[in-house]
């Protein structure tokens, strides 16, 4: 679906959009250390706060004796969970459900904030105070092994009476239907089996599976196991807050907070403040990937500051305290019916998934079902049965890096079908992928076909059956392939304001910025439409402005960009109207110094329709020699605003049943079967993004998504002690994120088929390039055995049967 | 980090006196100690940190009395670039240049590397969450817990402070120990000189036999005779920052005498004596190299989780020996 509904959506000439290496607006600050993140803020006369963390996987605080802690000079307060002060807090609208109280008495995973907050004159004193507390814990049963957690005889870890939030979590509800009639995800359907012990269910059946099984020539049965991963936020959450006097509302009425990311709305809502009563000037929150949840360290400081007369209070998480989950554990037991031609006739996905601690995002459990790849298949008989296990593994905020997971089960399916039928997996994929308009459409998808053509060439693709090829150095050789759609949001409304003032176009926007350089993308689009250069637009950061660069994540940038495109054209029209008006005013309206008469405008006699903005000039279309510099187009202040929704995208229209922009990823590995080492020889991504807006951002996004896809498949493993449920590797020495030396070069050939309907036919990228099984599948192709991620050398050796106990073996 | 006192002694005597006091700890580069203090892993927080860097002359490297003498405070980065080390003990330079990360190598010393505390994740869990045997507690949590990176030669049994026998399955992670053992190095302390193999011990909050107030001052490596070959190999999951899960060093003399030392596989760095015995006096062949690999782990007692280390030792030793063939 190209961008046919907006202005210039089919533009062919681009001077700014798509241009590589335009500098980021904040790159200098970030590269030189000028940028301040949450942990960088300090204030004179500042207090410090630390929150008690639970040392058990599941426990309730029975009592806290704070007497000894409060006797330590410099320790000012120990605020316990039942303090009425917490009732003053409103709800954080981002990613939360109603909390029984802000600070709970019960912790559902090791390291969770619980029980009390200490406030002292230094961070060291906070730590002393926490040590001095006499906490009486009631240690409760826990589940960190979700397979064992399915045992119906296990004691329940939630309840027996559910809190308000937990009850909301288990409430069955009918799924929402889209305007196209597709029923969307919900966590529990009314038809689901009832919750039993620690397990709840979520079952969705599409089509007629019985008919699907009848059409099949054979059944393919396999497992896709996906472990827990943590969110590797580079900047640990932290904030400093204090109360300021308001000139209009009185002393101590304004909150100044730095370090609380994702705009000020959360803080405004929690503290019942209006927009002008919350100040957040800092621009930098650090890199994030769909992790919108504020941590307690980012939202509690205003409350504590108020308690101490507005003195600034600082609260910082350590690295270990930032070990929140980015992906919940999942075990998919798959059964497929397949014909002799490799066509999938029926899908049965039996998924056992971690529900996480109460309040964890459902994007990591059941809410990814509609976002995945099943509906890209011709097969319409699909059953998904989710067995959702409550656990004490950890907490996931808002979203997950790797959703949706069923792209991975398809990747593995194509490999297995290829293996069984001795067919190229690309051909298996082609036979199963439906056409652009519906699941009944037999036509090829141009975006997919082009991506495959380019990918095969880059890979020098020559598929071989598993375990049949060795490299000259003796290592085993394997390849793999996957496809996905290039998705774009269109369910968020956006807003843009542009202003022509004193000869310059201003683009006012609030911070903080989130790391995907969307403001730069928007600036490029505005410059393109206004006939200006990128650097001609003045981006004015001001926390009071409505516009934010959040954009709905990277997938939303091109939809948000569509709004900016419309806004820029609105501004352009208004500037031309103003320029024509000013050029045609009576002569005596023009006055120079001491009222000397001014020469007539070169635009005199023209209407707005007869003018254009070209390369920094307002010109007469019919005679480009007649112009005024853009900076002198008009003396008026001209403002344009545009808000609303971008055109509805294919992704949220059909959830895979309609296809426009697609991508393919390819991997080639070498496996040392004597040491278990895996080396990625090639990692190639060929996305059709529709239209590149800012190439540097796009390439970086791909690098990043491959970075964590590689990390989760080869290195990263979240380890908890089986006996206590305590995490054992809460640091980046023991939890192995890839170092720069471990990351392979990612080859990218970016296609621009203009078939997305964001700005200029652009679509999105990122989530669907994230995967848990592309490298794993290549390892299978190399070795002939499946290694569950992460394929660390010990696991590879074990899968190869080379971990015998006994030295002489 | 919690408050502590800090002393900059001017002499070894002053440092030794301070370190005889209970609650004092020595700090060389600080690469190990500062992390331990930040994570508050011990039962008792140190009252006094004695900074050894203020003592002059402990970072010298020189050839003296037929030995390469390396001061205990010589930094790993300097060691990896030192011309004398590159000339007489190139595998030690290689090993030092592969430790940790570039930044850490410029801060961490050879002495600190040899004396570092175990990296066992139960031992290192912050706020002394697991009060294990190596801290004076009753049990080794890794024995029944997750021990994938732990000893494949069984636990060490040692006496804790009250004289009771305790077990610990954590490995010694002193990365430079295997090359020093293979090179036949000696450790010089303020009280004695001992072979490097006798320097290591399993004790409460210690991985050496150093007594309170006793300080490591120098490492002496006998100059190798002409024609000596040496190899060092480490295996880690990442290409930087990781401690090796296995590392090994081999020295082969012109008379075909072999010294093979292994790290990361036992509570202390060990000599692979069975492999040395098998190799003694023989010219290397691929078959002999493979047999030596098997012999090196003959007495191993791995757990189900860490048996992979045996395969690594066998493979790495085989490959390094083959690379030494004439």
B121:A719 CB<8 A: yes
**Residue B119's closest chain A neighbor by CA?**
A734
Q: Does B240 touch chain A (CB under 8 A)?
A: yes
User: What's the pLDDT at A809?
Assistant: 37
- How far is the alpha carbon of A131 from chain B, nearest alpha carbon, in Å? 9
Residues 6+ apart with CB under 8 A from B311: A674, A675, A676, A797, A802, A803
- What pLDDT is attached to residue A589? 62
Residues of B in contact with A804 (CB under 8 A): 307, 310
Does the predicted interface ipTM exceed a cut of 0.95? yes
Q: Inspect the interface and report whether the beta carbons of A802 and B308 lie closer than 8 Å.
A: yes
**Is residue B281 less than 8 Å (CB to CB) from chain A?**
no
Chain B partners within 8 Å of A675 (Cβ):
235, 311-312, 315-316
Domain architecture of chain B: domains with CATH:
229-323 (3.30.390.50)
Predicted local confidence at residue A600, as pLDDT: 87
**Partner residue opposite B308 with nearest CB, options A124, A797, A806:** A797
Chain A contact present for B103, CB below 8 A: no
Hey, which of A645-649, A669-673, B2-6 has the most confident mean pLDDT?
A: A669-673
CB-closest option in A675, A726, A734 to B315: A675
Lowest mean pLDDT among A187-201, A337-351, A582-596, A646-660: A582-596
Residues from chain B contacting residue A127 (CB–CB below 8 Å): 1-2, 40
User: Quick check: B81 contacting A, CB < 8 Å?
Assistant: no
Q: Which residue in chain A is spatially nearest to B122 when comparing CA positions?
A: A728
Q: Which residues of A touch B305 (CB under 8 A)?
A: 794
Stated pTM of the model: 0.96
Distance from CA of B299 to the nearest CA of A (A): 6
Query: Which carries the bigger pLDDT value, residue B326 or residue A717?
Result: A717
Per-residue pLDDT at A515 exceeds 80: no
Looking at residue A218, what is its pLDDT?
98
Element containing residue A69 per DSSP (H, E): helix A67-71
Query: In percent, how much of chain A has pLDDT > 90?
Result: 74
Contact yes or no for A133/A125 (Cβ under 8 A): no
The answer on pLDDT for A282 being more than 80 is yes
For residue A673, the distance in angstroms to the closest alpha carbon of chain B comes to 10
Q: Give the pLDDT band of residue A421 (cuts 50, 70, 90).
A: very high
Q: What is the pLDDT at residue A808?
A: 47
Q: Which of A288-302, A342-356, A520-534, B216-230 has the lowest mean pLDDT?
A: A288-302
pLDDT over 80 at A673, yes or no: yes
- Are B121 and A728 within 8 A, CB to CB? yes
- H/E stretch holding B318: helix B308-323
The torsion angles phi and psi of A576, rounded to 5 degrees, stand at -65, -40
State how far residue A761 is from chain B, nearest Cα, in angstroms: 41
The residue in chain B having the minimum alpha-carbon distance to the alpha carbon of residue A742 is: B239
C-alpha distance from B55 to closest chain A C-alpha (Å): 29
Quote the tokens at residue A268: 């405004």
Strand, helix or coil at B127?
helix
Among B4, B44, B45, B126, the strongest candidate for a mutation testing the A interface, having the largest count of A CBs within 10 A, is: B126
Range B265-285 average pLDDT? 98
Indicate the range of A198-207, A359-368, B292-301 predicted with least confidence. A359-368
Is the predicted pLDDT of residue B313 greater than 70, yes or no? yes
- Are B300 and A807 in contact (CB < 8 Å)? yes
The reply to whether residue B238 touches residue A797, judged by beta carbons under 8 angstroms, is: no
pLDDT of residue A807: 44
Give the pLDDT confidence of A61-72 residue by residue, as tens digits: 999 999 999 999
B2 and A127 in contact by Cβ < 8 A?
A: yes
What is the pLDDT averaged over residues B100-125?
A: 97
Which residues of B38-113 form beta strands (DSSP E)?
Answer: 48-51, 61-64, 67-71
* CATH 3.30.365.10-classified regions of chain A: 413-489+650-799, 493-644
Residue B242 touches partner A, C-beta closer than 8 Å:
yes
How many Cβ pairs closer than 8 A exist between chain A and B?
98
Q: What is the pLDDT of residues A541-588, one digit of tens each?
A: 999 999 988 766 667 889 999 999 999 999 999 999 999 999 998 866
Cβ neighbour number for residue A18 with a 10 Å cutoff = 18
Buried b / exposed e along B251-290 (16+ C-beta atoms within 10 A): bbeeeeebbbbbbbbbbbbbbbebbbebbeeeebeeebbb
Q: Where is average pLDDT lowest: A241-250, A511-520, B91-100? A: A511-520
Asked whether the beta carbons of residue B311 and residue A797 sit closer than 8 angstroms, the reply is: yes
Q: How far B91 CA sits from the closest chain A CA (Å)?
A: 22
Q: What is the pLDDT of residue B92?
A: 98
The Cα of B62 is separated from the nearest Cα of chain A by a number of Å equal to 34
Residue to substitute from B38, B145, B150, B297, interface A, most A β-carbons within 10 A: B145
Q: Which pLDDT score, from 0 to 100, does residue A389 have?
A: 95
Helix or strand holding residue B35 (H, E): helix B33-39
Chain A contact for B146 (CB, 8 A cutoff): yes
Short-list A112, A788, A723, A724, CA closest to A396 = A112
For residue A719, which residues of chain B lie inside 8 Å, CB to CB?
121, 146
Burial zone of A739 (CB within 10 Å; 0-12 exposed, 13-18 middle, 19+ buried): middle
Interchain CB distance below 8 Å, A723 and B298: no
Q: Would you tell me which CATH number, out of the four given (3.40.50.1000, 1.10.10.10, 3.30.365.10, 3.40.50.300), belongs to the domain A493-644?
A: 3.30.365.10
CA angle A710, A713, A719 (to 5 degrees): 120
CB contact under 8 A, B306 and A794: yes
Best residue in A73, A232, A729, A794 for a mutation probing chain B (most B CBs within 10 Å): A794
Interface probe, candidates A711, A713, A728, chain B, greatest B C-beta count within 10 A: A728
CA separation, residue B19 to residues A276, A446, B6, B22 (Å) = 59, 74, 12, 7
pLDDT value, residue A171: 78
In this predicted structure, the answer to whether residue B192 has a pLDDT above a threshold of 50 is yes
For A36, the token pair is 């301040």
Across the range A163-181, mean pLDDT stands at 77
Q: What is the mean pLDDT of residues B149-175?
A: 95
How many percent of chain B have pLDDT more than 90? 98
pLDDT at residue B221 greater than cutoff 50: yes
Of A128, A676, A721, the CB nearest to B145: A721
Q: Which residues of A touch B (CB under 8 A)?
A: 55, 124, 127-128, 320, 674-676, 715, 719, 721-723, 726, 728-730, 733-734, 736, 738-742, 792-794, 797-798, 802-809
Q: Are B241 and B250 in contact (CB under 8 A)?
A: no
Which residue from A728, A793, A803 is facing B146, i.e. has the nearest CB? A728
Cβ distance A343 to A380 under 8 Å? no
Closest CB from A55, A742, A794 relative to B238: A742
Judge: B141–A798 Cβ closer than 8 Å, yes or no: no
Rounded CA-CA distance B188/B99 in Å is 23
CB contact under 8 A, B299 and A807: yes
CA distance A419 to chain B (A): 29
Pull the structure tokens for residue B42. 């011990």
Residue A245: what pLDDT? 94
What's the pLDDT tens digit per position in A187-217? 778 888 988 999 999 898 999 999 999 999 9
Distance from the Cα of B73 to chain A's closest Cα (Å) equals: 24
- Give the pLDDT confidence score for residue A506 in this predicted structure: 98
Report residue A95's pLDDT band, with 50, 70 and 90 as the boundaries: low
Confidence of residue A253 (pLDDT cuts 50, 70, 90): very high
Query: What's the gap in Å between the CA of A418 and the closest CA on chain B?
Result: 31
- Mean pLDDT score of chain A, rounded to an integer? 91
Between A272-286, A424-438, A563-577, the lowest mean confidence (pLDDT) is in: A272-286
Nearest CA in chain A to B142: A721
Q: Among partner residues A55, A676, A742, which is closest to B129 by beta-carbon distance?
A: A55
- Kindly report the number of other CB atoms within 10 A of residue A460's CB atom: 9
| CB-neighbour burial class of residue A60 (10 A; exposed 0-12, middle 13-18, buried 19+) | middle
Beta sheet of B216-222, edge-to-edge order: B61-64, B67-71, B216-222, B186-189, B193-195
Among A354-358, A482-486, B264-268, name the one with the lowest average pLDDT.
A354-358
Q: Which of B126, B306, B308 shows the shortest C-beta gap to A676?
A: B308
> Is A326's pLDDT higher than 90?
no
Given the structure tokens 């696991």, which residue do they identify? A795
C-alpha to C-alpha distance for A155 and A153, rounded to whole angstroms: 6
Over residues B136-165, the mean pLDDT reads 95
Span A98-121, mean pLDDT?
89
DSSP codes, A107-133 = ESSTT-EEEEEEEESSHHHHHHHHHH-
Q: Which CATH architecture has domain A413-489+650-799?
A: 2-Layer Sandwich (3.30)
């Amino acid at each position: 679906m190209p961008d046919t509904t907006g202005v210039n959506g089919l533009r062919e000439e681009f001077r700014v959009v798509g241009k590589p290496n335009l500098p980021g607006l904040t790159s200098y600050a970030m590269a030189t250390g000028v940028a301040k993140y949450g942990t960088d803020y300090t204030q004179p006369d500042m207090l410090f706060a630390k929150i008690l963390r639970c040392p058990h996987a599941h426990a309730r605080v029975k009592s806290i004796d704070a007497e000894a802690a409060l006797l330590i000079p410099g320790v000012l307060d120990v605020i316990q969970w039942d303090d009425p002060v917490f009732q003053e807090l409103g709800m954080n609208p981002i990613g939360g459900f109603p909390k029984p109280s802000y600070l709970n008495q019960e912790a559902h995973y090791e390291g969770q904030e619980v029980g009390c907050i200490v406030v002292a004159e230094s961070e060291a004193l906070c730590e002393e105070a926490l040590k001095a507390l006499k906490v009486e814990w009631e240690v409760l049963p826990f589940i960190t092994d979700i397979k064992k957690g399915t045992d119906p005889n296990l004691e329940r870890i939630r309840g027996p009476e559910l809190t308000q939030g937990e009850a909301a979590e288990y409430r069955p509800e009918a799924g929402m239907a889209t305007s196209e009639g597709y029923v969307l995800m919900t966590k529990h359907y009314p038809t689901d089996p009832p919750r039993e012990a620690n397990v709840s269910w979520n079952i969705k059946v599409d089509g007629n599976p019985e008919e699907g099984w009848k059409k099949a020539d054979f059944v393919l049965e396999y497992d896709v196991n996906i472990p827990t991963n943590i969110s590797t936020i580079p900047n640990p959450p932290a904030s400093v807050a204090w109360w300021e006097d308001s000139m209009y509302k009185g002393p101590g009425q304004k909150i100044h907070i730095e370090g609380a990311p994702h705009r000020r709305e959360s803080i405004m809502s929690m503290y019942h403040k209006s927009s002008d009563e919350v100040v957040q000037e800092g621009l930098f929150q650090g890199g994030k990937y769909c992790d919108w949840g504020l941590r307690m360290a980012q939202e509690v400081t205003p409350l504590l500051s108020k308690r101490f007369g507005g003195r600034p209070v600082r609260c910082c998480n350590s690295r270990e305290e930032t070990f929140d989950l980015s992906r919940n554990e999942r075990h998919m037991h798959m059964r497929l019916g397949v014909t002799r031609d490799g066509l999938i006739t029926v899908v049965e996905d039996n998924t056992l998934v971690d529900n996480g601690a109460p309040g964890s995002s459902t994007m990591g459990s059941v809410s990814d079902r509609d976002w995945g790849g099943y509906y890209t298949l011709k097969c319409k008989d699909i059953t998904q049965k989710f067995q959702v296990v409550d656990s004490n593994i950890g907490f996931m905020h808002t979203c997950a890096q790797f959703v949706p997971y069923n792209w991975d089960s398809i990747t593995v399916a194509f490999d297995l079908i290829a293996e069984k039928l001795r067919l190229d997996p690309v051909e298996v994929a082609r036979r199963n992928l439906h056409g652009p308009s519906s699941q009944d459409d037999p036509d090829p998808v141009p975006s997919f076909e082009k991506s495959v053509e380019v990918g095969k060439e880059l890979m020098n693709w020559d598929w071989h059956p598993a375990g049949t090829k060795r490299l000259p150095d003796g290592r085993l050789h394997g390849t793999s392939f996957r496809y996905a759609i290039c998705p774009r949001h269109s369910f968020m409304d956006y807003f843009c304001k542009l202003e022509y003032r004193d000869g310059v176009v201003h683009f006012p926007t609030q911070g903080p910025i989130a790391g995907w350089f969307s403001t730069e993308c928007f600036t490029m689009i505005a410059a393109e439409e206004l006939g200006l250069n990128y650097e001609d637009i003045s981006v004015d950061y001001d926390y009071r402005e409505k516009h934010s660069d959040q954009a709905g994540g990277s997938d939303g940038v091109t939809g948000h960009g569509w709004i900016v495109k419309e806004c820029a054209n609105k501004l352009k029209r208004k500037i031309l109207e103003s320029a024509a008006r000013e050029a045609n005013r009576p002569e005596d309206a023009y006055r120079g110094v001491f009222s000397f008469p001014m020469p007539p405008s070169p635009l005199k006699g023209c209407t707005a329709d007869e003018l254009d903005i070209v390369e920094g000039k307002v010109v007469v279309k019919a005679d480009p020699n007649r112009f005024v510099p853009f900076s002198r187009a008009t003396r008026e202040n001209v403002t344009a605003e545009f808000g609303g929704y971008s055109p509805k995208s294919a992704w949220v229209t059909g959830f895979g049943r309609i296809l426009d922009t697609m991508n393919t990823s390819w991997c080639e590995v070498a496996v040392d079967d004597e040491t278990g080492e895996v080396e990625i020889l090639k990692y190639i991504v060929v996305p059709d993004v529709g239209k590149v807006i800012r190439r540097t951002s796009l390439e970086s996004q791909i690098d990043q998504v491959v970075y964590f896809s590689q990390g989760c498949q080869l290195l990263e493993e979240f380890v908890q002690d089986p006996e206590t449920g305590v995490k054992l590797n809460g640091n980046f020495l023991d939890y192995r994120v890839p170092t720069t030396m471990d990351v392979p070069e990612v080859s990218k050939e970016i296609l621009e088929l203009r078939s997305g309907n964001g700005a200029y036919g652009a679509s999105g990228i990122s989530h669907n390039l994230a995967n848990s099984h592309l490298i794993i599948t290549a390892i299978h192709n190399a070795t002939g055995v499946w290694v569950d991620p992460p394929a660390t050398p010990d696991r590879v050796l074990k899968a190869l049967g080379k971990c015998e106990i006994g030295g002489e073996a | 980090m919690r408050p502590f006192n800090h002393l900059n002694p001017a002499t070894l005597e002053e440092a030794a006196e301070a370190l005889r006091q209970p609650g004092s700890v020595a700090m060389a580069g600080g690469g190990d100690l500062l992390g331990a203090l930040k994570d508050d892993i011990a039962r008792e927080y140190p009252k006094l940190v004695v900074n050894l860097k203020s003592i002059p002359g402990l970072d010298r490297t020189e050839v003296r009395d037929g030995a390469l003498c390396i001061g205990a405070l010589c930094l790993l980065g300097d060691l990896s670039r030192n011309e004398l080390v590159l000339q007489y003990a190139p595998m030690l330079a290689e090993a030092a240049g592969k430790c940790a990360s570039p930044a850490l190598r410029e801060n961490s010393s050879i002495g600190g590397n040899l004396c570092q505390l175990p990296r066992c994740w139960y031992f290192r869990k912050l706020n002394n969450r697991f009060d294990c045997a190596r801290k004076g507690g009753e049990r080794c949590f890794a024995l029944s817990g997750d021990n994938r990176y732990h000893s494949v030669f069984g636990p060490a049994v040692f006496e804790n402070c009250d004289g009771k026998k305790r077990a610990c399955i954590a490995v010694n992670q002193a990365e430079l120990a295997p090359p020093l053992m293979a090179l036949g190095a000696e450790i010089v302390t303020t009280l004695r000189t001992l072979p490097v193999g006798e320097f290591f011990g399993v004790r409460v909050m210690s991985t050496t036999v150093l007594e309170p107030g006793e300080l490591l001052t120098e490492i002496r490596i006998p100059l190798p005779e002409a024609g000596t070959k040496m190899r060092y190999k480490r295996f880690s999951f990442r290409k930087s920052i990781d401690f090796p899960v296995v590392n090994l060093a081999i020295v082969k003399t012109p008379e075909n005498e072999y010294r093979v030392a292994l790290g990361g596989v036992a509570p202390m760095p060990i000599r692979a004596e069975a492999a040395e015995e098998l190799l003694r006096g023989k010219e290397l062949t691929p078959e002999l190299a493979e047999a030596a690999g098997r012999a090196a782990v003959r007495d191993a007692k791995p757990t189900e989780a860490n048996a992979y280390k045996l395969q690594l030792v066998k493979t790495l030793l085989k490959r390094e020996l083959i690379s030494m063939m004439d």
